Amino acid sequence: MGILRRSKPKAETSNEAVLPPLELKPTAFDKTAVQAELIGARQLPGYPLAISMLAQALSAGGDRILMDFTAQGVNVRNRIDGIWEALPAMDRASGDATLFIVKKLWGMNPADRRSSQTGKCNVAFQGNDWILECASQGVPTGERVLISVLPKKPIHKTLGDLGMRDKMQEQLKGLLGAHGGLVVISAPAGHGLPTTWRVAIESADKFTRDWVSVEDKKDADPEMINVTQNFFDSKAGETPDIALAKLILKQPDVYVMPNFFSEHVVDSVLSLVKAESKHAVTRIQANDPIDAIIALMSTYRGQAKELLMTINGVLSQRLVRRLCTECRQAYQPSPQLLQKLGVPAGRITQLYQPFTPPPPEQRVDAKGNPIEIPICKKCKGRGYSGRVGIFELLILSNELRSAIAKNAKDPSVIRQYAKKLGHLSFQDEGVLAVATGLTSLQELQRIAQGK
């Protein structure tokens, strides 16, 4: 193979020289076949197009690439920080050539443009390793192809990296480190629940206590530091009850339950929490802490009352785009704006917003000649770079529990009551994040409206 590589035609070498340094590591072939496949692919017209398309998405921090094939051409979009961005459309021939390379090296059948197919390929780029999963499907207008970008190893983060303020980190660690309670972690779909779940649990002190999980083998979580995973195989007819019964004999301290599976399991875990001062953690998809409690109570109706009595705190998060630290702009909010945001006078003196270029008539020098406003190198003019969590942490008191029990059908009443007790909502926490320059009011509004 080495000989073949050295004797590459000159034209190809110069072609590769201008390509971004993105290395494809196909996993669909054995060791010798990989080299042959890669050498074959490099000769094809779609190769530089595919490499450029992938490198562009990865360098912008994209996590999805969508290609929509129609008779006229191919629309390509990248999802960056949760927002879809359209790229210049490709002509059909270039799109076909690009997809040929992807399907070939991802171990899919390039000739089949109709069936639903999936494939994978590892990619190394800018010092990081990624797994790129491709799914293609013929549609009435042509074909739709989605490439998902996943980091090869979970990127280790702290609660601070996720955007949680220091005081809340301490409160959360306190909740997780308590005895005889249930901590709930929640987020809406697409708002990073798996990451926050892992980071929150890994942030707790696990050296003095035994942490164990009960998980269904078919959708097990990635490994976590100092949590002993225990699996049952639902496909083989096994139930979580047997896995749990075995565990109880070992007397662990904290039960990590990504799912409760059944009322019976809820009952067993809650009994351990109550009678033996064990502790438990679970997660659920929900918009905010109140929603999370109500969702748990309605999923496990028979245990609703016990759940409410046992939950000692709920963490909820939503992801917002992080303002670019290079070009964000501070401004003084008017008293009216602060009042509207519910901020007491004097508490906050400045907020931040994304950079907006001045109107054309102001883009001139002293002599009236037009001046070029340089585009920010870090965010490429987007104003945002990466995402950050806005966290809401609800600590339950008996007062609040009885308000929830009484008003489970009208969560807005519970929210108002929680506010009266001093609880900071998503909106309140968001304004604090805008005051520290993490995000903008526009972004909070977009997420609050579920866009």
Binding site for Zn ion (CB under 5 A): 324, 326-327, 376, 378-379
Radius of gyration of the chain (CA): 26
Q: Residue 231 or residue 355: which is nearer to Zn ion going by CB? A: 355
Q: Which residues pair with 91 in a beta bridge?
A: 73
Only one residue has tokens 């010798």, namely: 32
CB of 213 to Zn ion, least distance (A): 40
Contact assessment for residue 103 and residue 69, using Cβ atoms and an 8 Å cutoff: no
Q: Residue 223 or residue 326: which is nearer to Zn ion going by CB? A: 326
Largest CA distance in the chain: 83
Q: Residue 357 or residue 370: which is nearer to Zn ion going by CB? A: 357
Q: Residue 29 or residue 355: which is nearer to Zn ion going by CB? A: 355
Burial class (CB in 10 A: 0-12, 13-18, 19+), 71: exposed
Q: Could you report how far apart the first and last alpha carbons of the chain are, in Å?
A: 51
Q: Residue 326 or residue 410: which is nearer to Zn ion going by CB? A: 326
Q: Residue 323 or residue 403: which is nearer to Zn ion going by CB? A: 323
Q: Which two tokens stand for residue 76?
A: 């390509």
CB of 53 to Zn ion, least distance (A): 24
Q: Residue 368 or residue 374: which is nearer to Zn ion going by CB? A: 374
Q: Which residues pair with 216 in a beta bridge?
A: 232
CB of 375 to Zn ion, least distance (A): 8
Q: Residue 351 or residue 379: which is nearer to Zn ion going by CB? A: 379
Type of residue found at 107: G
Only one residue has tokens 């890994």, namely: 202
CB of 386 to Zn ion, least distance (A): 11
Residue of 196, 178, 197 whose CA lies nearest to 280: 178
Q: Residue 150 or residue 373: which is nearer to Zn ion going by CB? A: 373
Using DSSP bridges, classify how beta strands 311-323 and 142-151 pair: parallel, antiparallel or unpaired.
unpaired
Q: What CA–CA distance (Å, rounded) separates 427 from 433?
A: 10
Residue of 177, 427, 173 whose CA lies nearest to 320: 427
* 450 φ/ψ sector (left φ>0, alpha ψ -120 to 50, else beta): left
Contact assessment for residue 99 and residue 145, using Cβ atoms and an 8 Å cutoff: yes
Which secondary-structure segment (H or E) carries 323? strand 311-323
CA-CA-CA-CA dihedral for 294, 296, 301, 303, to nearest 10: -120
CB of 49 to Zn ion, least distance (A): 28
Measured in residues, the chain has a length of 451
Residue of 451, 448, 450, 418 whose CA lies nearest to 434: 448
Q: Which two tokens stand for residue 193?
A: 């629940």
